[in-house]
Amino acid sequence: MNALISPSRRLRRTPFSDGVEAAGVKAYTVYNRMLLPTVFRSVEEDYHHLKSAVQVWDVSVERQVELRGPDTARLMQMLTPRDLRGMMPGQCYYVPIVDETGGMLNDPVAVKLAEDRFWISIADTDLLLWVKGVAQGHRLDVLIDEPDVSPLAVQGPKSDELMARVFGDSVKDLRFFRFGWFEFQGRSHVIARSGYSKQGGFEIYVEGHDAGMPIWNALMEAGKDLDVYAGCPNLIERIEGGLLSYGNDMNMENTPHECGLGRFCNTETAIGCVGRDALLRVARDGPVRQIRAIEIHGDRVPGCDRLWPLMNGDAHVGHVSSAAWSPDYETNVAIGMVRMTHWEPGTELDVVTRDGVQAATVKEVFWT
């Protein structure tokens, strides 16, 4: 596929789009009806740079679903099998969201701003509509909307240094998945130590469209000697790191347990979760298929734009959903879903790509 993307208002621009365009973005995807850059110099050049320097990512597509009001805590627990009773303001939790059948509707990060106020920083589905629908049906007293908040990620080994220059040294004290409030030009923004890479970094929850480009420009200016550049979630790096992508690696068909997210579920104690009853058995017995790291041998694989069957002889035992050539590991790294009968590390399978059949091996862990 070598097609252009057609501009329209429906594919929303972000507060940082002017900066993204000035940096020479070459390709986009669409995520939550918003433009998400995918390539600046090249996927491989972006990859090496992410691992060695520092990048500023426009991840405005991680829209927020804000919940506030008296029934907020009750509604939050209805959404997820993760037990939220121990969560404190200042914490971020990765929370699988499930429907009444236990199928995953989204895999967002919940940001607890106060006892009665959350942001849910979403993956690519209209979680807002599910939350509003459930609240309407249960007549809960909660305000639910999408605020004018757009995350800007700073990722890479030099992230701490760059962030300290712009937001002060205390930003370095943030622990993983904790956030604080930091000033920029007289306005306060939530900053968390988090992000969709394994290279370390932060996400700035930029409040107010007009605050976007000043922060973008300040980071670019302050990081010149750190080789800062515009970047974006990198396909190769996120597969190496085993970072799942909702819509690619899992969707409504899958339980959190199939996605290897059982450690984020406390199904017994998550009283009130609408999917609790449906998940109790799989939480106890385990799933019959699960996400695995898959190494694909041989030539560089083509772009994975559809599921590739994983075969054991004539038996269809799973599929690959994301794949890329890894320059650092000199092999094809991939994410797949494999049936229990064939998910043991070392199992040899065949994968049917668009271009033909290649040998593959189920791995014990991802490439980190």
Residues that bind its own copies (CB under 8 A): 1-11, 13, 21, 25-30, 33, 38-39, 99-100, 105, 124-127, 129-139, 245-248, 274, 303-307, 321-322
Q: How many angstroms separate the CA atoms of 307 and 17, rounded?
A: 31
Please tell me whether residue 69 adopts helix, strand or coil conformation: coil
Least distance in Å: CB of 35 to its own copies? 9
| Residue (80 or 321) nearer to its own copies, CB | 321
Of 125, 124, 143, 123, give the one whose Cα is nearest residue 75: 143
| Residue (38 or 331) nearer to its own copies, CB | 38
Residue type at position 230: A
Task: Quote the radius of gyration of the chain (alpha carbons, Å).
Answer: 21
| Residue (32 or 267) nearer to its own copies, CB | 32
| Residue (32 or 159) nearer to its own copies, CB | 32
Please tell me whether residue 357 adopts helix, strand or coil conformation: strand
Beta pairing partners, 201: 155
Least distance in Å: CB of 252 to its own copies? 8
Q: How many angstroms separate the CA atoms of 107 and 258, rounded?
A: 13
Least distance in Å: CB of 278 to its own copies? 12
Task: Count other C-beta atoms under 10 Å from residue 101's C-beta.
Answer: 13
Least distance in Å: CB of 46 to its own copies? 12
Least distance in Å: CB of 88 to its own copies? 28
| Residue (25 or 265) nearer to its own copies, CB | 25
| Residue (93 or 308) nearer to its own copies, CB | 308
Residue type at position 279: L
Please tell me whether residue 250 adopts helix, strand or coil conformation: strand
Least distance in Å: CB of 146 to its own copies? 8
At residue 226's C-alpha, the angle toward residues 233 and 216, to 5°, is 55
